[in-house]
Amino acid sequence: MAEEARSIDPATLEMIDKAREDGSSNVFERSSNMKPCPIGLEGSCCRICSMGPCRVPLPKNKEETAEERAKRKGVCGATAETIAARNFARMIAAGSAAHSDHARKVTETFLLAAKGEAKGFTIKDEQKLLQVALNFGVKIAERSNEEIATEIGELVMKEFGRQEGELTPVKSAPLKRQELWQKTKVTPRGIDREVVEMMHRTHMGVDQEYKSIMSQAMRTALADGWGGSMLATDLQDIMFGTPAPVLSQINLGVLKKEDVNIIIHGHEPQLAEMLAVVVQDPGIIEYARSKGARGINLAGMCCTANEILMRHGVPIAGNFLQQELAIVTGALEAIVVDVQCIMQGLADVAQCYHTRVITTDPRAKMTGAEHIEFDEHRAWESAEQIIRTAIDNFPNRGKNIRIPDQKTDLVAGFSHETINYLLGGLFRASYRPLNENIINGRIRGVAGVVGCNNARTVHDNAHITLVKELIKNDVLVLQTGCSAMACAKAGLMLPEAAREFAGEGLASVCEAVGIPPVLHLGSCVDNARILIAATAMVKDGGLGDDISDLPVAGAAPEWMSEKALSIGQYFVGSGVFTVFGTTWPTTGSKELTEFLFKDYESIYGGMWAFEADPYKMAELMLGHIDKKRKDLGLDKARDRVLYDMAMRRELDAV
Ligand code: SF4
Ligand code: MSK
């Protein structure tokens, strides 16, 4: 790939050039030197036992004969379908495990906070505490917040090891969806149980029927979306506050030449929350000044960034593919990492500069990095030690500093609760105005566009192109993860973007409510907020009685992580048509791919699709949204009606 085709972000291109001049490696360079294995790419390589690895690729450039088809088997006789399904299902299991282990760690901290054993962490959102207490059937009465939180924490902890019944958050789904899951036997019983069973069933010689493997894969993914991820989001909101709209900035230009620059990168918010507090301590700022710095500048990267952006407005230095480039600026004293999406390349790149790479989680260490463990019992002290380490490194900065100018304003902080409030107002908080505007045609539908960057495609291009196409066509876009960051860099997360980029109908609604046409809902685990938003739309009435009836669609145009597949699978299982870009990991089996792309619709009401071209991806999503509008009888362009009370009552009765 030519250098200029690596990214559409000028800050990224400038730092790729600087890395080359400095002789530093980076992900873009490595991806040019390493071609993806074509057999692994299509899911046709099995390496789960030592009689293999067995490779069963589809013949290229010709139709497969029956004889060839019969021979396309592993040493044990496993078919291409079984092999591709096992690979796909194991990726989903890993993604579900990652989100859910994140949730477990949050639950541990939550319990410590509830018991007063984690100094600095408290109950910040009482309203949400009471809501979650209701969901779990926890008695409120005269009890203190701490007592209620302790019982919630203990009950949530049990969800991980639960062996039978149904996960508690599943009950938040529309009734019809819950019944469908029961009928198809995919309701998750326990978070850990589903992941373990998935690993067992894909062990050599166990489940060897691809539809059966994919059924457990669905259960495992639902244990993520309606389990681990949803619980992580709820407890984080209670502990750190439910996000509300906040103004901030994004891109490498948020780094400051005169300050000690610290980037926190990864996914879990606990350490980041504490860093955001400790960097404001007068004593620590004075310490930074004593080393010649003007102050301390904390910025984020990937989803830890999204967490502290949503709650504190801490600026974001960039998304997944920019992590090494932050070091290349020469102005970064420390990159502090927790878990997930952290490239080992950071340690290599840091060798060329003065940046210290600091791992903080006992589950995620890295050769070439230093480890300062974050201990929730002494959170302040841990955060202070990390910040002092960065400050001590400030005098070691070289002269080779170049910080790109690019930084863009954005408004983030759109939790489900905030959307509810913004749309309906304090006393009538609801999704009714959204539903009404979908019914009257001002808003054509809603899309969730999420997921990663991928060095195999032009950085940020598919995210921004797709989202621009969608809003131009009056589709309101909800975003999380690195996709949200891409669109924020392009200026799509500002209220004025409605007039500039959105279609007439969507723009008029956004301007009336005062929101951007693209709403930032948070980190990867916060995709659960999209499920709750979709459920709220169903419950508000007028758009069918299940998520699969809604004119909505999902996409991850530049996905790369196993977590993205788990997210996609639980969106599909929740009834959402979901399109992935870049590559598709089951193309080695036509039957399995057909099953996921077509047959799933008749089972779950949602199905997968693959399309690398963002314009065609938009067409697919708009086509699906229009089909749903037609099924709901909303295909005829409606006049923009103002609803009187009688009409509202009629709508409510639907
Ligand atoms: Fe090959 Fe079968 Fe072993 Fe897989 S399980 S590596 S297909 S022999
Ligand atoms: S960080 S999972 S690269 S979105 Fe959540 Fe970005 Fe994908 Fe990681």
| Bridge partner residues of 46 (DSSP) | 54
Q: How far is ligand 2, taken at its centre, from the CA of residue 514, in Å?
A: 28
CA-proximal residue: ligand 2, atom 8 (nearest): 341
CATH of domain 246-396: 3.40.50.2030
Q: How far is ligand 2, taken at its centre, from the CA of residue 26, in Å?
A: 18
416-653 has the same fold as 246-396: yes
CA max distance for the chain: 76
Distance CA 30, CA 36 (A): 11
Average pLDDT, the chain: 94
3-state secondary structure of 353: coil
Pairing state between β 45-46 and 54-55:
antiparallel
Burial of residue 376 (number of CB atoms within 10 Å: 0-12, 13-18, 19+): buried
Q: How far is ligand 2, taken at its centre, from the CA of residue 341, in Å?
A: 6
Q: Which fold has domain 416-653?
A: Rossmann fold (3.40.50)
100-143 confidence digits (pLDDT tens): 999 999 999 999 999 999 988 999 999 999 999 999 999 999 99
Q: Which residue has the tokens 């250098």?
A: 3
Q: How far is ligand 1, taken at its centre, from the CA of residue 83, in Å?
A: 8
Distance CA 606, CA 555 (A): 13
Q: Does domain 80-240 have CATH number 1.20.1270.30?
A: yes
| Pocket lining: 253 vs ligand 2, CB cutoff 6 Å | no
pLDDT at 60: 86
Burial of residue 242 (number of CB atoms within 10 Å: 0-12, 13-18, 19+): buried
Burial of residue 260 (number of CB atoms within 10 Å: 0-12, 13-18, 19+): buried
Q: Considering every ligand atom, which ligand is closest to the CA of 265?
A: 2
Q: Considering every ligand atom, which ligand is closest to the CA of 522?
A: 2
Residues near ligand 1 (Cβ within 6 A): 46-49, 51-54, 74-76, 78, 83, 204
Output the pTM of the full model: 0.95
Q: How far is ligand 1, taken at its centre, from the CA of residue 523, in Å?
A: 37
From 339, 457, 563, 567, mutation site for ligand 2 pocket: most ligand atoms within 8 A of C-beta: 563
> What does the buried/exposed string (b/e) look like for 267-293 if buried means 16 or more CB atoms within 10 Å of the residue's CB?
bbbbbbbbbbebbeeeebbebbeeeeb
Asked if omega into 614 is within 30° of 0 (cis), the reply is no
Domain range list for the chain: 3-69, 80-240, 246-396, 416-653
C-alpha closest to that of 391 among 276, 316, 289, 253: 289
pLDDT at 316: 98
Contacts of 115 (CB under 8 A, 6+ apart): 146, 150
Phi-psi region of 632 (alpha: psi -120 to 50; beta: other; left: phi over 0): alpha
Q: How far is ligand 1, taken at its centre, from the CA of residue 301, in Å?
A: 39
Backbone torsions φ then ψ of 150, nearest 5 degrees: -60, -45
| Pocket lining: 486 vs ligand 2, CB cutoff 6 Å | no
DSSP string computed for 184-218: TT---S-HHHHHHHHHHHTSTTS---HHHHHHHHH
CB 534 within 8 A of CB 605: no
Q: Considering every ligand atom, which ligand is closest to the CA of 80?
A: 1
Q: How far is ligand 1, taken at its centre, from the CA of residue 203, in Å?
A: 10
Q: Which residue has the tokens 């693209």?
A: 518
**Ligand 2 atom with least separation from CA of 341:** 8
pLDDT averaged per 10 residues, the chain (length 654): 80 97 96 95 97 95 85 96 98 98 97 93 95 96 96 98 97 98 98 98 98 98 98 97 96 98 96 95 98 98 95 97 98 98 97 97 97 94 97 97 98 91 72 92 97 97 98 98 98 97 96 95 96 95 96 98 98 98 97 98 98 98 98 74 50 44
CA-proximal residue: ligand 1, atom 7 (nearest): 74
Distance CA 481, CA 448 (A): 11
pLDDT at 175: 97
Contacts of 441 (CB under 8 A, 6+ apart): 505, 634, 637, 638, 640
CA-proximal residue: ligand 1, atom 2 (nearest): 76
